[in-house]
């Protein structure tokens, strides 16, 4: 840690000589348990815009053992907008571990010198980004909600601050790459183009297993993961404290089922123990982007709002006409959620039928 301090330009931003050749936008294509995390595609969609603004290439970075998973990830990266994929395959990268991944990604950055690197703000992405940014002594902005290029080829990364009540725009000065993470579902999923192809740059890594102290003994898959599809559901119904009891969440579940969607809640509902934490929507829970979001008995605090603003259509049911949620909902219903929810379930069943998994009543 006795390396030189990053060069500090004066008021007038002057990038040190050695960083001036850094070019191109990179997206880390996260593979966990053999599958590309969809956040990587969302980032490629966003990275495409940044690369176009800078008139540079968009590249995906794929790390993993040689095999079907990395092959599929390379193809998918091209389909979602990458011009180039940096591919580094090694058995040491089989399951995610911080040490070999940090070493691999750091080496790629130092070799090919991107100006921007984006990662998903997943447990993997955050673990890796923090380590890589520190190794490179560069800036890292977490959980960005907006990315843009300003006049000086600089990344303007906007994120919530102070518990979500304000936003701030952060720049990285005097060092490259500029790193940022973005949470799943914050950016829109780009339309894949199965015809798109690109250039693969294979990079050979030397990662001797004895160098790595940490070993993966096992992976215990969440039993519930398959039911909790919140972040990627097309329709989400959520309830808040206005539902008044754990039992009343049955009304939320039923409407969600009738709409073939998933259900969630506000934070105090989790704190009360009415629903488990993986159902929480908002700044400290999941970000959702459904086509339809129905919020019942939720007041619309800013921390909730930031998690749902990506929804195409927000319907709010709240007994208080002054509730904040009506400030950002598209449709508002001032009524008792406990009576409107079952009526909606009935109406949906009548009009679009009963979806397959729910037994006809």
Partner 1 sequence: MDAVFDHDTDPEDPGRRGLNLVVCIKQVPDSAQIRVHPVTNTIMRQGVPTIINPYDLFALEEAMRLRDQYGGEVTVLSMGPPMAEEALRRALGLGADKAVLITDRRFAGADTLATSYALASALAKLGAERPIDVVFTGKQTIDGDTAQVGPGVARRLGLNQLTYVAAIDLLDRATGEIVVRRRAEGGLQVLSSRLPCLVTVLEGVNEIRRGSIEDMLRAARAEVTVWSAADAGIEDPQQCGLKGSPTLVKRVFAPTPREESAEMVAVDGKRPAQIADAVLDLVFAHAPKLETELGAAPSEKERR
Ligand X SMILES: Cc1cc2nc3c(=O)[nH]c(=O)nc-3n(C[C@H](O)[C@H](O)[C@H](O)COP(=O)(O)OP(=O)(O)OC[C@H]3O[C@@H](n4cnc5c(N)ncnc54)[C@H](O)[C@@H]3O)c2cc1C
Residue 111 contacts partner 1 per CB under 8 A: no
Binding segment (CB under 6 A) for ligand X, from list 16-24, 227-235, 252-260, 331-339: 331-339
Closest to 144 measured CA to CA, from 107, 115, 187, 113? 187
Shortest approach of partner 1 to residue 131 CB, angstroms? 5
Binding-site member from 228, 336, 342, 346 for ligand X (CB under 6 A): 336
Residue 272 binds which entry of partner 1, ligand X, none, CB below 5-8 Å type-dependent? none
> Is residue 29 within 8 Å of 62, Cβ to Cβ?
yes
Site residues (CB under 8 A) for partner 1, limited to 4-63: 5-6, 8, 32-33, 35, 37-38
Cα–Cα distance measured from residue 351 to residue 227, given in angstroms and rounded to the nearest whole number: 25
First-last CA distance in the chain: 67
Residue 76 contacts partner 1 per CB under 8 A: no
Cα–Cα distance measured from residue 249 to residue 47, given in angstroms and rounded to the nearest whole number: 39
- DSSP code for 165: T
Binding-site member from 119, 237, 301, 311 for ligand X (CB under 6 A): 301
- DSSP code for 231: G
Residue 344 contacts ligand X per CB under 6 A: no
Residue 333 binds which entry of ligand X, partner 1, none, CB below 5-8 Å type-dependent? partner 1
Residue 165 contacts partner 1 per CB under 8 A: yes
> Which residue(s) pair with 147 in the sheet?
157
Cα–Cα distance measured from residue 345 to residue 323, given in angstroms and rounded to the nearest whole number: 24
Shortest approach of partner 1 to residue 346 CB, angstroms? 7
Shortest approach of partner 1 to residue 199 CB, angstroms? 27
> Which residue(s) pair with 158 in the sheet?
146, 169
Binding-site member from 313, 320, 352, 358 for ligand X (CB under 6 A): 320
Q: Is 239 left (phi over 0), alpha (psi -120 to 50) or beta?
A: beta
Residue 84 contacts partner 1 per CB under 8 A: no
Residue 298 contacts ligand X per CB under 6 A: yes
Shortest approach of ligand X to residue 268 CB, angstroms? 5
Residue 188 contacts partner 1 per CB under 8 A: no
Cα–Cα distance measured from residue 213 to residue 331, given in angstroms and rounded to the nearest whole number: 55
- DSSP code for 142: -
Residue 282 contacts ligand X per CB under 6 A: yes
Residue 276 contacts ligand X per CB under 6 A: no
Residue 248 contacts ligand X per CB under 6 A: no
Instruction: Give residues with Cβ within 8 angstroms of 141, minimum separation 6.
Output: 157, 159, 170, 172, 179, 180, 181
Residue 99 contacts partner 1 per CB under 8 A: yes
Q: Write out the two tokens for 163.
A: 């518990």
Residue 241 binds which entry of partner 1, ligand X, none, CB below 5-8 Å type-dependent? ligand X
Residue 248 contacts partner 1 per CB under 8 A: no
Binding segment (CB under 8 A) for partner 1, from list 73-81, 110-118, 191-199, 218-226: 218-226
What are the b/e assignments for 79-110, b being 16+ CB within 10 Å? Answer: bbbbbbbbbbbbebbebbbeebbbbbbbebbe
Residue 268 contacts ligand X per CB under 6 A: yes
**Per-residue contact string for residues 128-167; x = within reach of ligand X by CB under 6 A:** -----------------------------------x----
> Is residue 231 within 8 Å of 42, Cβ to Cβ?
no
Binding segment (CB under 8 A) for partner 1, from list 50-58, 190-198, 241-249, 341-349: 341-349
**CA distances for 18 relative to 13, 155, 177, 324, angstroms:** 15, 18, 12, 50
Shortest approach of ligand X to residue 185 CB, angstroms? 13
With both helix axes pointing from N to C terminus, report the angle between 68-79 and 39-54 in degrees, rounded to the nearest 10: 50
Residue 299 contacts ligand X per CB under 6 A: yes
Residue 288 contacts ligand X per CB under 6 A: no
Residue 186 contacts ligand X per CB under 6 A: no
Q: Which residues bind ligand X (CB under 6 A)?
A: 163, 240-242, 266-268, 280-285, 297-299, 301, 303-304, 307, 317-320, 323, 336-338
């Amino acid at each position: 840690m006795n390396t030189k301090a990053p060069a500090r330009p004066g008021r007038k931003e002057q990038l040190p000589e050695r960083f001036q050749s850094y070019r191109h936008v990179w997206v880390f294509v996260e593979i966990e348990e053999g599958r590309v995390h969809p956040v990587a595609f969302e980032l490629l969609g966003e990275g495409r815009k940044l690369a176009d603004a800078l008139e540079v290439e968009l590249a995906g970075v794929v790390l993993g053992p040689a095999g079907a998973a990395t092959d599929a990830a390379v193809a998918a990266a091209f389909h979602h907008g990458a011009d180039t994929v940096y591919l580094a395959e090694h058995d040491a990268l089989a399951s995610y571990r911080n040490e070999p991944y940090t070493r691999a990604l750091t080496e790629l950055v130092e070799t090919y010198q991107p100006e921007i690197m984006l990662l998903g703000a997943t447990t993997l992405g955050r673990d890796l980004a923090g380590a890589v940014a520190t190794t490179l002594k560069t800036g890292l902005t977490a959980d960005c909600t907006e990315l843009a290029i300003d006049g000086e080829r600089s990344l303007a990364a906007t994120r919530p601050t102070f518990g979500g009540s304000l936003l701030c725009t952060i720049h990285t000065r005097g060092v490259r790459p500029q790193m940022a993470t973005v949470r799943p579902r914050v950016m829109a999923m780009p339309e894949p183009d199965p015809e798109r192809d690109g250039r693969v740059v294979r990079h050979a890594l030397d990662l001797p297993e004895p160098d790595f102290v940490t070993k993966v003994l096992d992976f215990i898959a969440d039993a519930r993961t398959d039911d909790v599809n919140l972040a990627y559901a097309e329709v989400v119904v959520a309830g808040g404290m206005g539902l008044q009891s754990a039992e009343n969440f049955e009304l939320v579940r039923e409407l969600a089922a009738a709409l073939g969607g998933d259900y969630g809640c506000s934070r105090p509902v989790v704190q009360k123990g009415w629903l488990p934490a993986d159902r929480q929507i908002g700044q400290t829970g999941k970000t959702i982007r459904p086509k339809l979001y129905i919020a019942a008995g939720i007041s619309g605090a800013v921390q909730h709002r930031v998690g749902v603003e990506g929804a195409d259509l927000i319907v709010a049911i709240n007994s208080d006409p002054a509730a904040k949620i009506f400030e950002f909902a598209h449709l508002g219903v001032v009524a008792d959620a406990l009576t409107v929810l079952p009526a909606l379930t009935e109406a949906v069943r009548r009009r679009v039928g009963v979806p397959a998994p729910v037994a006809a009543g």
